[in-house]
Chains A and B, each alone.
Chain A
């Protein structure tokens, strides 16, 4: 199994630009999670989906952030417009319906200058 695949691995962008992070969960997994990790706030759950439907987006920091899951094998996290305080590592993760273990991607390292 290829695991959870995220892209891009690294991105540097200018303040005000749109950023799109992508995730492919493990095949057959029904739950998909987006996390953000920073030195100050640690690991934060932003949003999670079940069967492509957003279940809890209470962790999304503000309206500049949006996430979609158009199908079972793809999700995006978009920041528009981006700000320097959005600089962080963004992790995607997934769990299967019959499983209990969350598997993480390698992360997308975002720097907004």
Chain B
């Protein structure tokens, strides 16, 4: 069985401030972990993923995430928020080709 918990359905940050979106997971097999971004009225786009190897993964648009097995976490960060980062972000865990998504976090960037 696997599950994903995203803490905070809405997060607001000021432009230029640190972005931190939290994700915790559970999985009975070694997980693959993902972050997807969904801009208004669009589909889900892969932001970054962890499969094996380096636990700090870098994605598009300056985002990165760190896999911490001991904490079962995969938090998404970006040092400096931009207005164009306003979107909904989904964390996901995959095991045996079954993918489970979190409930999403809407990021608001305040000018």
Contacts and interface: CB of A to CB of B under 8 A. Distances in A.
A31 B97 contact: yes
Given A91-B43, A100-B32, A43 B94 contact: no
Interface residues of B, number: 21
Given A91-B44, A95-B97, A95-B99, A102 B104 contact: no
B101 interface: yes
Contacts of A107: 42-43
Contacts of B107: none
Nearest to B99: A102
A102 B92 contact: yes
A50 to B, nearest CB: 7
Contacts of B100: 45
A31 B111 CA distance: 42
B42 A106 contact: yes
A42 B103 contact: yes
Contacts, number: 45
A7 B45 CA distance: 18
21 contacts: A31-B97, A33-B99, A42-B104, A43-B101, A43-B104, A45-B99, A45-B100, A56-B98, A95-B97, A97-B97, A100-B49, A100-B51, A101-B46, A101-B49, A101-B94, A102-B92, A102-B99, A106-B42, A106-B43, A107-B42, A109-B41
